[in-house]
Structure 1
Amino acid sequence: MATSPRSVDTISLCSTVSSCPDRNGFYGGFQRTEKPKEPLSKAQIIAREKKWLYMIDNWSLYMSKNYKKIRDRCRKGIPKSVRPRAWFYLSGAYLLKKKNPTVYKELLEQPGNPHVIEEIKKDKHRQFPFHEMFLDEDKVGQIELFNVLKAYSIYNPKVGFCQAQAPIAAFLLMHLPAEDAFWVFVSVCDVYLEDYFITGLEVLQNDAGILEGLLKKTCPPAYRHLQKHKVEPLLYMTDWFLCAMTRTLPWETLLRVWDCFLAEGIRVIFKVALVIIGASLNQHKVRKQCNGLCETLEVLRSPPEHVLEEDFIINNIQRLNLRVEDFQIEHTRQKNRRAKQKAMQEAAAATTAS
C-alpha cells in the first residue's frame, strides 16, 4: 500500500496501526474494530433486508401512514447492505437530488470562493486519517471530500465551510457515492443541524442550555456536579453536536446512532450526550475524584469504554424518560431566557448612550 509522506507520519503516531484494515476500512485509530459484535444469523439478516427493501420501495406510504415502523426499525439497526440507500431516503436526500438532477455537477464546475477553497484544502487530509479512503491526497476519498465540501460552500454561501462539517462529509462518503453523499450532507447541514455552522454559534449556545435543562431532569447528581464546578456545556458538547458524534463514538455505535439520528433528528444527539454525561458522572466516587473543572472535562472527553459501546448507548437512549414535549419546554425556556438577556443588554446600552 503506497502512502504519502504525510500519511506515513500521521500513521506512525498511532501505536495500534495494523498492516490490514478492519472490515470497515480502518488501519488504526479508536474507531478501528478489533472484535466485531457477534453477527446475526444469515436468515435474520435476509429477513431484515427484505423488510427494508420493501419499505424503501413503498417509502412515501410508510412515511405518511406508518412512520413509527420506520423509526422502530431504525432503532433496531439498519442492515449494512441497505444502510446507504436507507440513509438516502431517511434524510430526504432522494427528493433533493430528484428536484436538482444536474446541480451537483454544475457546482463542481464553478470555481468557488478562493478563501473557502483554501480552507477546505488545508482541512481535508485531517478527516479519518486511518481510514483506507483518506490515507492519500490522490486517493478518491480526499478528492471526493474536497468536491462535496466545495460544492456545498457554493450551494449555501451563507454557511460556506466550517471545519466541523468535514468529518460529517467524510463519514457519509464512506457509505454513499459522492453525489448522493452531497445531498445527504445538504440535508444534515441545512435541516438536521440547521444554523449550527453560522458564525456566532447562537443555535449551539441555545442547545447547550437545553442540554443543561434536560440533564437536570434525567441525572440530577451529574447536573449538580457540573454546576458546582462551573463546567459550561459548550466546553464538552460542542464537538459532539457540531460533528454529530462522528469524532466521538466507536464505529459500530456511530452507525447505530446515525440510523436513529436520520430518522428522529437532533433529539438523538441530545440523548446520546445525556447518556454519556449521566453514565460518566452518575457514580459518587467518580464525582468525588473529579474535584474541579479540568478533571471533570477529562472524564467527559474520554468516557469509560463501556459507556460508548453500541448496546449501552442504544439501549440507554431508548430508556431515557424524555418526551418530545420535554424538548419543546426546554427550547421555549431557553428562547425566553435569551430574549430577556437581549432586552436587558439593549436597555443597558440605551441607558449608557443617554
Structure 2
Amino acid sequence: MSAELDTMHLALHEERAKREALELVLSQLQDANISLQRKWHQTRETMVPSAWASPAASPPGDEPHAWKAAATDLSATPQVESSANGKVVDESVLAPPPSTARVGERLGWLHLRLREVSLPLGAPGDVPNGASVDDVFVCICVSTEHKVHSHKLAADGVFLSGGQAFLLPISTRSIGHDVSSHASQSMSTPDDASGGAASLCAKPMPLLLRASLMSAPMSGDAVERAATVFEVDLAQLEPFSSCDLSSPWAQASSPEIDDERRAGAISVCIEWRPMPDEATDGVPRGELGFPLSARGPRAASNESPTASTANGRSSPDAVEGALVALKLRRWNRLLASCTSLAELPSSTLRALLLSGVPSEHRGHVWEQVAGASSLRPRFSPRADSVHRLSAAEVRPRRLPSLECGAECAEVIERDLLRTFPEHPHFCTSESSLVPALRRVLRAQAVYLPDVGYCQGLNFIAGVLLLHCDEPTAWALLVTLCDKLLRGYHEPSMSGLHRAQGALIQTLQQAVPRVYGHLSEHNVPVKEYSTGWFLCCFIDVLQLPVALRVWDLLFSEGEALLLRATVALYILAEEPLMEGHDFDDTENEGGLLRILQCEPERLMRAACEPKLERLAAQALGCE
C-alpha cells in the first residue's frame, strides 16, 4: 500500500512540476515581450544608430560593446526606406542587435566544496538580526540566474555532512557579470532568465562567486544576514587543481567589524574544469562534455536543454529547460531545510531521487544516500598510502596490500584510454582526468583486494569523476563494489550470476511473451546483461537516462539495477515482439536499438509496485 501511495505521490509531484514549468515559460515569454516593446520604443524615439555607441543609450540589460558592434555593422550596410511620417528609417534599427557571444555558451564547470563556515559575532546562537543558528544555510550565487543552497548548519555552526560540494556550470553569462546586486534575493524569488549575455574575453576570465549566509524563518522568505564575494580569475587557475579561498563575512547591518574572529568567515576549495571551445574544437558537446554528434549511447542526447532560442522565441526544449531550473530550486529548498538527507522521511527522499537530481548536487547527494561520507577521508592520491582498516572495522578477509594493486596496474593502464575516447578529459594520456582515473582505480584495487580491478569499473569511475572530486569518486566506487553491488566485480562474479538468475526469473513472470519470443530466437539475454550490470548502464543507455538510474541506484543498489533492466523490456514489449533480426552482434542482438526510452517512463516503470515485488522475490529479499 505504501508503494502505491509513493507512486501516486510521485505522479502528482511531476504534474505539479510540469504546471509550474509552463507557468515559468509563460512568465519568461511575457518578460521578453515587454523587453522587446521597450527596445522598440527606445529605438523609434532615437532613430540614430550612432547613439548605440554610447553606454548611456543602451537599453537596460544589454552590454554596451554589443551595441557598438551592431552600430558598426549598420553603418556599413544601411537599409533605408521612407516611413509613413516622411522620416528616413533604418529598418534594421527596429530589430535587436546581434550578440557577440552565444547565449549561455558552456565554458566549463567549477567544483566547489565548503570547507568551513564560522558564524558572525562568534558566539553560538548570536546570528545577526536575531535569527537562530538552526535555520542558517549558505547560498552560493554564480551570475544572476544560478544559485545553489547548502544544508542548514548544525547547532554548533558546522556542517554535519562534513563539507558540502557543488558542481557549478560556468558559461559566458558568468564571466565578467556582476552578481552583487542580485545575490541578496530570497530563496523563493524566481531566477531572472531574461538578462543579456556577457561577451567572453580571452584574458582575463573574471568570475564573481557570492556567498551569502541566509536564514529561513518558519514563515516567509529567506533573509540574507551576511555575505562575501570571491573574485576569481579563471585564466589564472591551473585546470583540475584545487585552490583554497577564505573570506570574512560582511553583515548588512554592520559591514565593518574590527574583530575578525567576531566577523566570522567562510572557506571553500575550488577546482576549475574547463571544456574545449566549440569554435576551435568544432565538436558540439552536451552538458558533461560528450559529443552530441557522435554515435553511441552516451552521445545520443543533449543533457543540457535550453529554455529559449537566440531570437527570444520559445524552443521545443523550453518546458524541459524550465523543469531543470525548477528541479534545482526544489533541491535547494530541500537541502536548506535539513542538516543531512538522513533527516528526511524515506518516502520524501525516494520521491525526489526518483524525479532526478540536478547536476549541481549529484555528487553530494550520491555520497549521502550511499553512506560513503565516512570513507572519503581514507583516500590518498598514492595507491600505496591508502589508509588501511583495522581488524575491528572489516569483515574477515585479506587486508589491503600494495601487491594487489600492482597486479591490476597493467590492466588498468590498458583500459584508461578505452574509457571515454570521445571525451576531451579522457581521450589521451595527457588528458586532464586520466591521471585521476588511474589513481582512483588503483586505490580501489588496493583497498578492496577481494575485488581488485574488473573491466567496467573504469566507466563508473569516469562518470563519477565528472561529478565529484577524487576522494568522493573513490568513496562511491568502493561503496558500490563493497556494498551496493557486492560480488559483481569480484573474480568469481558471484553477485553478478545471482542477479542474472533473478533477471531471468523476473522476465519470465513480468513479460512472459517477450521472454518466450527471445528464447525462440536464441537471444542470450543473460549474457548480454553482463556488460549492462558491470558498467551500471553507462555504456548502454543514453547518458541522461543512465544518470537518472544512478540517482536511485546509490540508494537501492542491485534491486534498482534489476528492476530498471526488466522495465526496459516491459516498455519495449511491442517492438521486441515485432522484431526478428536478432543477429546484430555489434548491437547485442539489436537490443540496443530497441531498449531506449525516456528517463521518466523508465523510472516510473522500474518503481511499479508489482515489479518491485517480483524483483524482491527473485533476489531473495522477501
Q: Same fold (TM over 0.5)?
A: yes
> Counterpart in 2 of 1:25?
289
Please tell me whether the aligned partners of residues 536 and 561 of structure 2 are also in contact (alpha carbons under 8 angstroms): yes
> Quick one: percent identity of the two aligned structures?
24
Within the candidate set 93, 98, 117, 2:409 is matched to 117
Give the letter for the 2:602 counterpart: I
Distance 1:51 1:255 in 2: 22
| TM-aligned CA deviation for residue 297 of structure 1 | 4.6
> Does the 8 Å CA contact 1:272/1:313 hold for their aligned counterparts?
yes
Matched, 1:314 2:606: no
CA distance in 1, matches of 2:559, 2:357: 19
Partner amino acid for 1:238?
T
User: C-alpha deviations, 1:273-318, integer Å up to 9, x for none?
Assistant: 112223334357524x2477979952223325xx333233223223
Pairs within 5 Å for 1:31-50: 31-32=298-299, 33-34=301-302, 36=305, 38-40=320-322, 44-50=326-332
The one-letter code matched in structure 2 to 1:107 is: A
Measure the CA separation in 2 of the matches of 1:156 and 1:284: 40
Of 39, 58, 80, which residue of structure 1 is paired with 2:359? 80
Please identify runs of 4+ aligned residues in structure 1 that moved more than 6 A: 291-296
- In structure 1, what is the equivalent of residue 476 of structure 2? 184
Matches within 5 A, 1:130-141: 130-141=422-433
Which residue number corresponds to residue 8 of structure 1?
A: none
- Letter of the 2:285 partner, please give it: P
The residue type equivalent to 1:174 in the other structure is: L
Aligned twin of 1:4: none
Partners of 2:576 and 2:436 lie apart in 1 by 48
* C-alpha distance in 2 between matches for 1:291 and 1:139: 38
Indicate which of 431, 434, 437 corresponds to 1:142. Answer: 434
- TM-score (norm: length of structure 2): 0.46
Instruction: Tell me what 1:267 maps to.
Output: 559
Residue correspondence of structure 1 range 94-109 to structure 2 within 5 A: 94-97=373-376, 101-105=377-381, 107-109=383-385
Segments of structure 1 that go 5 or more residues without pairing to the other structure are 1-16, 334-354
Give the superposed CA RMSD.
Answer: 2.8
- Distance in 1, Cα, partners of 2:582 & 2:454: 35
Q: 2:594: which partner in 1?
A: 303
Residue of 543, 561, 564 corresponding to 1:251: 543
Match 2:348 to one of 69, 94, 102: 69
8 Å CA contact retained: 1:244, 1:269: yes
Residues 306-345 of structure 1 aligned to structure 2 (within 5 Å): 307-319=596-608, 321-324=610-613, 326-332=614-620
Separation in 2, partners of 1:42, 1:124 = 32
Partner of 1:346: none
* Structure index of larger Rg: 2
User: Separation in 1 of the partners of 2:612 and 2:464?
Assistant: 29
SS in 2 for 1:40: helix
Tell me which amino acid in the other structure corresponds to 2:353.
C
Are the counterparts in 2 of residues 240 and 247 from structure 1 also a CA contact under 8 Å? yes
Aligned to 1:242: 534
Distance 2:505 2:324 in 1: 44
Greater helix fraction, Structure 1 or Structure 2: 1
Relative distance call for 1:291 and 1:239 in structure 2 (3 A) is closer
2:369 corresponds to: 90
1:228 matched to 2:504? The reply is no
Which ranges of structure 2 fall in alignment gaps of 5 or more residues? Answer: 1-280, 306-316, 387-401
Is contact 2:327-2:357 (8 Å) kept? no
Equivalent-residue separation in structure 2 for 1:181 and 1:155 (angstroms): 14
Residue 69 of structure 1, CA deviation: 1.1
Q: Which 10-residue stretch deviates more, 39-48 or 18-27?
A: 39-48
Determine which structure has greater relative contact order: mean sequence separation of CA pairs < 8 Å that are 6+ residues apart, divided by chain length.
Answer: 1
Give secondary structure in 2 for the equivalent of 1:271.
helix
Sort the Cα spacing of 1:252 and 1:316 in 2 relative to 1 into closer, same or farther, 3 A.
Answer: same
Distance 1:189 1:43, change over 3 A: closer
1:293 and 1:230, CA in 2 relative to 1: closer, same or farther beyond 3 A? farther
Q: Count residues with an aligned counterpart.
A: 307
